[in-house]
Amino acid sequence: MLESNAQRGPYWEQTTPEDERIAHQIEHGREEHLLLDPRPPAELNELALATMKKTGPAFWIAVLGLGSLSLIFALTWVTQIFNGVGITGLNRSVMWGPYIANLIYFIGIGHAGTFISAALRMMRMDFRRPIARAAETITLFGLAMAGLFPIIHVGRVWKLFYMIPIPNQRDLWPNFRSALFWDMSAITTYIIGSTLFMYIALIPDLAMARDHTDGWRRKLYGALSLGWRGTTGQWHKLEVVSNILSFVIIPVMFSVHTGVSWNLSMSVQPGWHSAIFGPFFVVGALYSGVAAVIIVMIFVRKVLKFGYFIRDEHFNAMGIFLFILMIAWVYFYFAEWITNWYGNLPPEVAIQEMLTGPLAPLFYLMLFANIIVPLVLVFKRVRTNLPAMLVICIFIQIGMYLERVIIVAGFLSRNELPFNWVDYVPQLPETIITIGTLATLGLLYLIWTRIVPIIPLWEVYEGQAMQSTRRVGRAVVSTRTDAH
Amino acid sequence: MADLMLLGLFDNVETTADVIDDVRDLGVSDAQLEVLSNIPYPAKFFGLKTPGLMFWPFVFGGAILGALVAYFITFITPDLYPIHVGGQELTPVPPTAIMFFEFISLFSMLGAFIGFLLQNRFPILVREMYDELITDGYIGVQVQIEESVAEQVIGVFEKHHAHKINRELASEFKPQGIRHLFFWGAVAGGGLVVMLVPLLVSYEKIPLPWINKMNQTVVVGYQEGPRLAAPEEAVPFQGPRLIAGQPGTEPLEATESSIARGAALFQLHCAICHGETAQGDGPLSGYYTADHGFPVGVPALAGKGYPGSYIFEVVTNGRVGQTDDGTEFIKMPSLVENVSPGDTWDIINYINSLDAE
Res A307 pLDDT > 80: yes
B330 strand-pairing partners: B320
Q: Helix and strand tally (H, E) in chain B?
A: 12, 6
Structural domain containing residue A391: 37-146+182-466
Sign of CA dihedral B201, B207, B210, B214: positive
CB contact under 8 A, A248 and B108: yes
Give the confidence band of B340 by pLDDT, cuts at 50, 70, 90.
Answer: confident
Question: A284 at the B interface (CB within 8 A)?
Answer: no
User: Do the chains contact at B105 and A230, CB–CB below 8 Å?
Assistant: no
- Read off the pLDDT band of B337 (50, 70, 90): confident
Phi, psi of A258 (to 5 degrees): -65, -40
Residue A154 domain-assigned (yes or no): no
Share of chain B above pLDDT 70, in %: 85
Q: Which tens digits make up the pLDDT trace of A202-216?
A: 999 999 999 999 999
* Paired residues of B322 in beta bridges: B328
Q: What is the largest CA-CA distance in chain B?
A: 114
Sorting pLDDT into bands at 50, 70 and 90, what band is A161?
confident
Closest to A182 in 3D by CA, of A265, A113, A303, A244: A265
Within-domain flag for A31: no
List residues bridging with B164 in a β-sheet: B9
Does residue B21 sit at the A interface (CB-CB below 8 Å)?
Answer: no
Closest CA to A130 of A59, A190, A47: A47
Mean pLDDT check: name the lowest of A48-52, B151-155, B307-311: B307-311
Residue A46 touches partner B, C-beta closer than 8 Å: no
Q: Quickly list DSSP for A388-407.
A: HHHHHHHHHHHHHHHHHHII
- pLDDT of A2 higher than 50: no
Q: How confident is the model at residue A158 (pLDDT cuts 50, 70, 90)?
A: confident
Instruction: Give the gap in angstroms from C-alpha A8 to the nearest C-alpha of chain B.
Output: 6
Domains of chain B, residue spans = 1-177, 224-356
Query: Which of B50, B115, B228 is the closest to A236 by Cβ?
Result: B50
Tell me which DSSP letter residue A119 carries: I
Closest to A419 (Cβ–Cβ): which among B37, B59, B228? B228
> Is residue A151 in a domain?
no
Contact B167, B142 (CB under 8 A): no
- Three-point CA angle B78, A277, A266, nearest 5°: 30
Contacts of A462 in chain B (CB under 8 A): 39-40
pLDDT of amino acid B305: 65
Chain B contact for A10 (CB, 8 A cutoff): yes
ipTM of this predicted structure? 0.93
Q: Which of A41, A252, A259 sits opposite B38 (nearest CB)?
A: A41
Work out the angle at residue B68's Cα, subtended by the Cα atoms of residues A176 and A185, and round it to the nearest 5 degrees.
35
Contact A204/B at CB under 8 A: yes
**Chain B touched by A155 (CB under 8 Å):** yes
Residues of A numbered 447-476 whose beta carbons fall under 8 angstroms of chain B's beta carbons: which are they?
Answer: 458, 461-462, 465
Structural contact between residues B232 and B316, judged by C-beta atoms closer than 8 angstroms? no
Give the range with max mean pLDDT: A413-417, B31-35, B302-306, B329-333. B31-35
- Whether A455 maps to a domain, the answer reads yes
Statement: residue A252 has pLDDT above 90: yes
- Residues near B167 by beta carbon (within 8 Å), at least 6 away in sequence: B4, B5, B6, B7, B150, B154
pLDDT at B241: 52
Nearest to B35 by CA among A233, A218, A55, A475: A233
Phi and psi torsions of A349, nearest 5° = -60, -40
- CA–CA dist B25, B43 (Å, integer): 18
The shortest C-alpha distance from A29 to chain B (Å) reads 23
Nearest to A271 by CA among A349, A327, A368: A349
| Cβ atoms A132, A96 nearer than 8 A | no
> Given a cut of 50, is residue A328 above it in pLDDT?
yes
> For chain A, what is the domain count?
1
pLDDT of residue B218: 54
DSSP calls for A306-359: -TTTS-HHHHHHHHHHHHHHHHHHHHHHHHHHHHHHHHT-HHHHHHHHHHTTTT
What crossing angle do the helices spanning A179-211 and A41-53 adopt, rounded to 10°? 120
Do β-strands B33-36 and B328-332 pair in parallel, antiparallel, or remain unpaired?
unpaired
Asked whether the beta carbons of residue A7 and residue B12 sit closer than 8 angstroms, the reply is yes
The pLDDT-based confidence of B249 (bands split at 50, 70, 90) is low
| CA distances (Å), origin A395, targets A324, A325, A373, A418 | 17, 15, 7, 34
Q: Is B54 on the interface with A (CB under 8 A)?
A: no
pLDDT given at position A245: 95
Q: Which of B120, B180, B220 is most worth mutating to test chain A (most A CB atoms within 10 A of its CB)?
A: B120
In this structure, is residue A168 part of a structural domain?
no
Q: Establish if A32 belongs to a structural domain.
A: no
Position A334 scores a pLDDT of 94
Task: Report the C-alpha gap between B140 and B160 in whole angstroms.
Answer: 13
Q: Are A257 and A107 in contact (CB under 8 A)?
A: yes
The answer to whether the CB of A21 falls within 8 A of the CB of A474 is: yes
Residue A4 lies in a domain: no
Residue A12 lies in a domain: no
* B218–A86 CB contact, under 8 Å: yes
Radius of gyration, CA atoms only, chain A: 25
Question: Are the beta carbons of B135 and A41 closer than 8 angstroms?
Answer: yes
Average pLDDT, integer, range A448-453: 93
> B148-155: which pairs have CB atoms within 8 A and are 24 or more residues apart?
B149/B26, B149/B27, B149/B28, B150/B4, B150/B6, B152/B26, B153/B6, B153/B23, B153/B26, B153/B28, B154/B6
Tens of pLDDT along A346-367? 888 888 888 888 899 999 999 9
CB contacts of B98 in chain A (<8 Å) are 182, 185-186, 255, 259
Q: What is the CATH number of domain B224-356?
A: 1.10.760.10
CA distance A177 to A179: 6
For residues A286 and A142, is the Cβ–Cβ distance under 8 A? no
Judge contact between B55 and A244, C-beta under 8 A.
Answer: yes
- Distance from C-alpha of A308 to C-alpha of A265, rounded to nearest angstrom: 45
Mean pLDDT (whole number) for A18-28: 87
Q: Collect all residues of chain A within an 8 Å Cβ-Cβ radius of residue B173.
A: none
Report the C-alpha gap between A232 and B46 in whole angstroms: 10
